Chain A
Amino acid sequence: MADPARFISTRRRVREDRRFVTGTGRFVADIRLPDALHAAVVTSPHPAARIVSIDTRAALASEGVEEVLVGTGLPDLVDPIPNALDTPGIRCYPLAGDTVRYVGEWVAVVVARTRALAEDAAELVDIRYRALPFVVDAEAALDPSSPPVHPAHGSNLLYRRLFSWGPVEADFGAAPHHLGFELAWGRSATVPIETFGVVARWDAGRDLLDIWASIQMPSFAEQVASCLRLDLNQVRVHYDVDVGGSYGVKRGLKHTVVAGLLARRTGRPVRLIEDRLENMAGGDMHGPERRFRVAVAFDDDGMIRSLKLRALEDVGAQSGRAPLQLGKPVSAIVGAYRIGSVAYEAICVSTNKTGQTAVRGFGMAPTNLALETALDRVARHLGKSRFAVRRTNMIRAYQFPYRIPSGSAYDSGDYHAVLAKACGLAGLDRLLARRTAARAEGRVVGIGIATCLEPSGGNSSFEALLNPKNTTTTWPESCVIKVDRTGLVTASIATSTSGQGHETLTATVIGEELGIDPDRIRVLHADTLSAMPGNTPVASRMAIMLGGAATGAAGRIRDRALAIGAHLLGHAPGEVRWSDGAAVAPDGRRLSLGEIALVAHREYHRLPPGVTEPGLQATHVYQVPTGGTLPDADGRGQMYPCYSFAAHLVYAEIDRLTGTVSLADYVIAHDCGTVINPEIVRGMVIGGAAHGIGAALYEEFAYDGQGQFLSGTLADYVMPTAHEVPDIRVVEHCTPSPLTSHGQKGVGEGGYLGAPAAVASAVNDALAPFGIACLELPMRAGTLSDLLATATEQP
């Protein structure tokens, strides 16, 4: 019998916080190597142009300049950035070759003694362009006659597939009601306060490229090595770098390739720390920009029988990993609802805009907005409550595990209970009364409701779904634990951290398993050469995967210690139990982990027969629960093991004159199974929601009709401040996952998946009495004011 949980789910401090409040975090820009060179980038002012000439002479002659790198000749030195799709005609290099494809694309990189000197010289790089036709609109890009961003690919269509799961047409034919609408999710992203940065050092004496980077991506070292044509074990990525926020986007592959190349060529360390202008325009970190066509067929009671969803994604000028964001939504394509059949058309086009990358939720947030908007419109169509229609459609608690039409089985949940908790915490009746009273005063107010599934613990099956040449079926995570001769525990993990508290997670879980104080456990971030396999904190996976790996490794330590302890106590292994960090004999005699460790390290002669390895250490490489299979021919398959759930409820008021939206009474009820650290979970949920509020109301990477980029600074790309994010209250519900070490599920994305839909729901509820709706994000004050001004008559 295990002891009851003492550390898991209890309110404990987050160990990482100490270094941050004392100003002793170590971010990439803090890493100072002697004699380092600083890079600055020269970027394209054109959405599409032929590079006629580049003259670097003046730049090279400028003070302090060591080297100027241009794209010509780069294909002789490096391989292109990998495409996730099977699109061999698209070859993107870190620097433009003979053609630029978007405003902000890197054309040249200058390295100099200081960043300021590099910028001075960057101004002197003389580039002549001849403008080419361009396309910046996704629908236009679908037209085969649109100017191809990558002529060798033949068109701007990168991917198109119509998935059909279940009898869609028959269900539509049989249903008494249909409705359809279009919806646009504007181009936004997570925009961390720290830009991407990398420091590269070529160690000639060891034939080794050392990388320190603000990185959060799987297979980073593999891709760097491959692009630089190095052996994988010639690249060492250091994970002991604090990452100043990522939420998906910190994937500076081209940056690292350039820094690595220049470090090798100059023989000096090279720092490429994006400034904000480089980051916004050419950092290739924009997120989804998606247009939907949605149709649903439903019964009189609002039960949705079938869903048709067309998603057109504009990934910009680089293909990369971004198109796969059309794949993850397949894992929860019906959300929390018992929709029987689905037709999903996923289309991806290239345009002359900045490249896109992974953003929190990996494409789920836009799709959830489409689905939740459909629920709201069904309710409105039938004159029913949006809450009631959701309750009608939601999967019942007794139905888990519940397999959805696209093949994934949801592991566990109680959606009705969670929705009820949200309504209870918000005081829904009170809010409804407040809405009625406010409307009677002529105010424009609404209540928003949205639910969301958070597929978590991801494997990589969306890769295979969109690209059959990709046959990856495992995405493991690992943990190495050693107990030193004094009995103290040090764990090593295979990732850097961008705010998720992995050290706290690891220490908590190990402390729990070994019955020892987590605060005395040290957790190290290894590097890619010394670490066991890992896939970094994407896909809401670390609580599940690192938690599972740490639990597994700690379990091995405990089993080993028990075996040694039992022997030393003169018992058979089964007669001794583990409690409070010690092996305990039936008569109460104890041997602590420290006493056992000392024997294991020093007194081989006292070890039990069969224990032949000195010391006390263990490794666990943890496979994704339910992973290991490829999708079938129809694109069905188990994509994620665990499904967290949340319901968001919010009250919004639109200023009738100015269109400004203010939010109040924001509540979130969520279920991520067992909570490991309550404060981390609460922060993730609220922070994700804040980020979703930004996407719903404020944030957009905007382009004008000439392909010029309008959002190049943090003054133009409007992220919410403490004034725009309301107080957000959170209530938890726990249906443990049957698939994970402690019943935990993922929690990093759910706030962001629910908030845009909830805020949009509230805005549209406010607009509904006027017979109008806003179907594009961000819902800017100007747009809402214009809509209200045209809807002159109040009903």
Chain B
Amino acid sequence: MPVPVTISVNGRAVSDTVEPRVTLVDFLRDRLGLTGTHVGCEQGVCGACSVLLDGVPVRSCLLFAVQAGNRSVTTVEGLDDAILLDAFEETHAMQCGYCTPGMLIAARGLLSDTPDPSEDDIREAISGTLCRCTGYVQIVEAIALAATRLRQDERHG
């Protein structure tokens, strides 16, 4: 039986009725057309579906949309984070792009907590997100680069 739910998605309140069994990722993709968040395993292993829930990374396949009611969700489409995105481009931190939204969300979560992360911190932060293309090296570089630039930006801005 569909139930009403209101979620703030990328800063916009979305109200809809939804079957309880619809996961947050399916809600984002199928109802809202936000296809930037990807589905890889639907059991919480690959991390491709990661989004920010009230600012922290979670797996949107392990959350029914109704559970996100009255909470705030940020997807890759809503990542207002030019420095981070630019760093991913600069180091070519992707190939096929499928895990990229999950990596960006993981990176955002890390950098919000840890502005000056070590390589180990970065690897730990992205260890819940599988990438099959890159071997992670250029992703680690991108996040380190973004961290440096964000710190500089903080100082100068």
Contacts and interface: CB of A to CB of B under 8 A. Distances in A.
Given A247-B132, A728-B135, A501 B126 contact: no
B98 A714 contact: no
B127 A686 contact: no
Interface in A344-358: none
9 contacts: A17-B89, A23-B77, A27-B35, A192-B98, A242-B97, A679-B138, A713-B41, A722-B122, A727-B137
Contacts of B21: 116
A706 interface: no
A172 B107 CA distance: 58
Nearest first, the 5 closest Cβ-Cβ pairs linking A and B are A23-B36, A20-B97, A690-B135, A499-B95, A244-B98
A30 interface: yes
Q: Give the secondary structure class of B's interface.
A: loop
A723 B130 contact: no
B13 interface: no
Interface string B40-55: 1111011010000000
A686 B137 contact: yes
B95 to A, nearest CB: 3
Contact of A714 (B43, B91, B97, B101): B43
B135 A689 contact: yes
A276 B61 CA distance: 13
A194 B40 contact: yes
Nearest to B21: A116
Contacts of A14: 89, 92
B102 to A, nearest CB: 9
Interface string B128-144: 11111111111110000
Interface in B25-46: 29, 33-43, 45-46
A682 B137 CA distance: 10
B3 interface: no
Q: Give the one of B34, B37, B134 with max A CB within 10 A.
A: B134
Given A23-B79, A245-B96, A722-B123, 20 more contacts: A13-B90, A13-B92, A25-B100, A29-B39, A116-B22, A193-B96, A193-B98, A193-B131, A194-B38, A499-B94, A679-B92, A680-B92, A686-B137, A713-B43, A713-B45, A719-B130, A721-B136, A722-B127, A722-B139, A722-B140
B32 to A, nearest CB: 12
A41 to B, nearest CB: 15
Q: Give the one of B22, B96, B132 with max A CB within 10 A.
A: B96
Contacts of B136: 690, 721-722, 725
Contact of A29 (B35, B122, B130): B35
A317 B153 CA distance: 58
A265 interface: no
Interface string A202-235: 0000000000000000000000000000000000
Contacts of B29: 29-30
B134 A193 contact: no
B101 A276 contact: no
Contacts of B150: none
B37 A193 contact: no
A190 to B, nearest CB: 7
Contacts of B91: 679
Nearest to A751: B135
Interface string A263-279: 00000000000011000
B35 A499 contact: no
Contacts of B129: 721
Contact of B36 (A24, A500, A690, A715): A24
Nearest to A681: B92
A243 interface: yes
Nearest to B106: A722
A275 B95 contact: no
Nearest to B33: A32
Contacts of A723: 123-124, 127
A18 interface: yes
B40 A190 contact: no
A727 B140 CA distance: 9
B97 A193 contact: no
Contacts of B42: 275-276
B128 A193 contact: no
Interface string B98-129: 11110010000000000000010011101111
A690 B134 CA distance: 8
B96 A683 contact: no
B46 A193 contact: yes
A655 interface: no
A244 B43 contact: no
Contact of A686 (B38, B122, B138): B138
Interface in A678-715: 679-680, 682-684, 686-691, 713-715
A687 B134 contact: yes
Q: Give the one of A13, A22, A723 with max B CB within 10 A.
A: A22
B133 A683 contact: yes
A685 to B, nearest CB: 9
B76 interface: yes
Contacts of A751: 135
Contact of B98 (A245, A501, A725): A245
Interface string B55-92: 00000000000000000000111010000010011111
A722 B42 CA distance: 20
Interface in A437-477: none
A715 B45 contact: yes
Q: Give the one of A244, A691, A725, A727 with max B CB within 10 A.
A: A244
Contacts of B130: 193, 714, 719, 721
A245 B35 contact: no
A666 to B, nearest CB: 10
A275 B43 CA distance: 10
Interface in A252-290: 275-276
A683 B95 contact: yes
Nearest to A120: B21
A92 B10 CA distance: 48
A23 B37 contact: yes
A605 interface: no
A408 to B, nearest CB: 29
A257 to B, nearest CB: 24
Contacts of A13: 89-90, 92
